[in-house]
Structure 1
């Protein structure tokens, strides 16, 4: 065996397990595994989880918060200042920042990401080509799905429609969209589906990102998804507008989302920062209704979105910290709620991304993280150190620490 991890906690209340890895795969999980390995790790009851999946992030515009700050903290200014900066990006600049962001993610146990990579006539494919290059370079360390993302809109930025097709020809994995930043929004959605059908690719929308529910298009997307037979292949990020809907209007939408098998990526670090900016009192949390969506059978995920830019001027690539942020702000700290949070950064986004070889099961790829905690239900609230990160059956990160108490 290549690696043998002894005495790990996979589920609370169950016997500790040994996990054997060989040839990049999990070859055995049992209370005791006979034999030796090139590397043996004594977990001593610590929690083993599948690799973290960050299902919505922007590598190409990470780490630019100090260049042109978003002083109002609003979405509109974030879009404006980023649009001003993008033409100044060089491939070397994007590569340096994306590498640093990837290092943050990898160090913190993320083994899979979906990144939205932008292009438009003003900046060309500078960022997109760079991210595609890094996808190949980092393929043994982190799996990267690249979404062709028209941040500035398609119809209101002439030339972008042609670039969408070019991006797919260049190898994009996912067709992106942003209906709320284009006009007509329905035509934008229709074109995204048309491209996805042509290239047989999944879809990921930045969706209904407002404090109010005026002009939302999620229902149209659900209807389109079902009509085109794309159930289970459409994801939406943000979706904060649903938080402004009363129960009698929200429930039919969630029912339709479940039927269309839409996955939702809540982005609490960004949405809390940008949302509710015009509220003078009783300021809204401005999050999508995570618990209600979850209880309605929608595949609910939590993701990073941005790291230190105009949309999110903080972050360190730690998805568990993002999930911890969601615990109080989305009311996920209850005894029955807390166990549902870890799947929102592991198995749920893996489903959204269509990962077929993921999970702590024999025969699956050996992508996993050993946490410095001994209770699975505390895996989020402890914000534990990632002691070992294993990707494709190889140790990519190993953390050593010494804590001394002088009392």
Structure 2
């Protein structure tokens, strides 16, 4: 009798020899060792020991965690066309297309994305769902169905992506917050240079506190230096002593502000324990000039955030839609691009940005650090060092879930 796909074979033992475990993923005392042998058994990492081999044959990572995706929009670019750098044109195109979405269409596209993510090594994924008014979107119904279908393979979370101005209507905000709570979701908003910004953000925080909801914002997704939603969010967290997790995606405008202002905002974010998600593929495509080579690029201050004590992740964001017409759900590709565009030294030191950091931001049961007794949900790369890691050959991988190799 075959073992179900989401259940480990308790009798299976697998030995992984001569692998490097990057420092940010080490949940054990490695001492001076750099190369390790692992034994997987019963769906867990049974043991980790220094290897007798001096040279690593590959790198082992915990399975990836995708902190920011849009499963409802993906694979629609052939219908809507690419927006070519115009964020608000992309929003409008997707708004028109959304009117024709069906349960079957959503299920097919969202399932395709999950298969891609699963095979690439992703164990958990948070998707934003367009939520434009008080009526829960059709995508929420499909999401809840998929959450059950994929239980044990990809752990799914959803965020209500609501235009911030909707929260000016108190009754509308209350209805949305109740539905998000009942769906086990996260409350979110699209924040960009809104009128009466602080008042509307305060209303979002009111609702989150009343209903015990975590928050996840699209914030300052552009290259306007006067977009300061991130700072306002950090101030509200501190003023209210807000206890739930707060995630802020994009924050591109931070790169356009002078150093003093940006560093002051990052200091507030660190104190407020805000998690920032950088989204290099979509924002490099959307932000910056299209009539010439772009000089200003859509990436937040990743290095400065880390230096200030702000935990930061990389995520995929859009895949083959009006916002970003290319891409797939291989999170390691988004990571590799982010390392290059943000000029991050020693790529191995940043691998927490697709494993440990997003797992913490999403409140997952396992933080992604590898240690004896942790889940044997692992990705073994052929890369032996950071230079191979940045190449397609080095990113070839074997994916283990519950200690079993995915075919």
Q: TM-score, normalised by structure 2?
A: 0.86
Q: Which residue of 2 aligns with 1:209?
A: 221
Q: Does 1:347 align with 2:356?
A: yes
CA offset at residue 236 of structure 1?
0.4
For the pair 1:28 / 2:47, whether they are aligned, the reply is yes
Query: Could you tell me which residue of structure 2 aligns to residue 260 of structure 1?
Result: 272
Q: Is 2:251–2:300's contact at 8 Å kept on the other side of the alignment?
A: yes
Q: Identify if the C-alpha distance between structure 1 residues 97 and 227 changes in structure 2 by more than 3 Å, giving closer, same or farther.
A: same
Greater RCO (Cα-Cα under 8 Å, separation 6 or more): 2
Secondary structure of the equivalent of 1:201?
coil
CA displacement 1:4-34 (0-9 Å, x = unmatched):
232141337735333233443323222479x
CA contact 1:121–1:158 (8 Å) conserved in 2: no
Helix, strand or coil for the counterpart of 2:282? helix
Q: Deviations over 1:157-179 (max 9, x none)?
A: 99752542243243233211212
Contact 1:150/1:176 (CA < 8 Å) preserved in 2? yes
Q: Which residue of 2 aligns with 1:371?
A: 381
> 1:168 aligns to what SS in structure 2?
helix
Aligned pair partner of 1:298 in 277, 293, 310: 310
8 Å contact from structure 1 (residues 231, 261) kept in 2: no
Q: Structure 1 residues 296, 169: closer, same or farther in 2, change over 3 A?
A: closer
Offset at 1:224?
1.2
CA distance 1:391–1:186, shift in 2 (3 Å): farther
Query: Would the aligned equivalents of 1:120 and 1:152 in 2 still touch at CA under 8 Å?
Result: no
Shift of 1:214: 1.3
Partner of 2:38 in structure 1?
19
How is 1:161-240 mapped onto 2 (pairs within 5 angstroms)? Answer: 161-180=173-192, 183-230=195-242, 233-240=245-252
Match of 1:129 in 2: 141
- Separation in 2 of the partners of 1:126 and 1:159? 21
Question: How is 1:275-286 mapped onto 2 (pairs within 5 angstroms)?
Answer: 275-277=287-289, 283-286=295-298
Which residue, out of 401, 404, 407, partners 1:391? 401
SS at match of 2:322: coil
On the 8 A contact 1:74/1:277 being kept in 2, the answer is no
User: Kindly tell me: are residues 55 and 383 of structure 1, through their superposed partners in 2, closer, same or farther at Cα, counting changes over 3 Å?
Assistant: farther
Could you tell me whether the CA contact under 8 Å between 1:26 and 1:364 is conserved in 2? yes
Q: How far apart, CA to CA, are the structure 2 residues paired with 1:204 and 1:104? A: 24
Offset from partner CA, 1:183-213 (integer Å, 9 cap, x none):
5332332232223223323211001111112
Asked whether the equivalents of residues 11 and 376 of structure 1 are also in contact (C-alpha less than 8 Å), the reply is no
Structure 1 stretch 351-360 or stretch 56-65: which is displaced more? Answer: 351-360
Of the candidates 59, 63, 72, which is equivalent to residue 71 of structure 2?
Answer: 59
Please list every run of 5 or more consecutive structure 2 residues that lacks an aligned counterpart in the other structure: 1-10, 23-31
CA distance in 2, matches of 1:123, 1:313: 28
SS at structure 1 position matched to 2:79: coil
Alignment of 1:15-94 (within 5 A): 15-31=34-50, 45-94=57-106
Give distance in 2, aligned partners of 1:134 and 1:117.
14
Greater shift after overlay, 200-209 or 225-234?
A: 225-234
Deviation at 1:263, TM superposition (A): 0.8
Q: How many residues align?
A: 385
CA distance in 2, matches of 1:63, 1:157: 33
5+ residue gaps in structure 1? 34-42, 399-407
TM-score by length of 1: 0.86
Q: After superposition, what is the alpha-carbon deviation per residue over 1:117-142, rounded to whole angstroms, capped at 9, x for unaligned?
A: 22234984201111121111111111
**CA positional deviation for 1:95:** 0.6
Q: Given the superposition, is the C-alpha separation of residues 251 and 32 from structure 1 closer, same or farther in structure 2, using an over 3 Å criterion?
A: closer
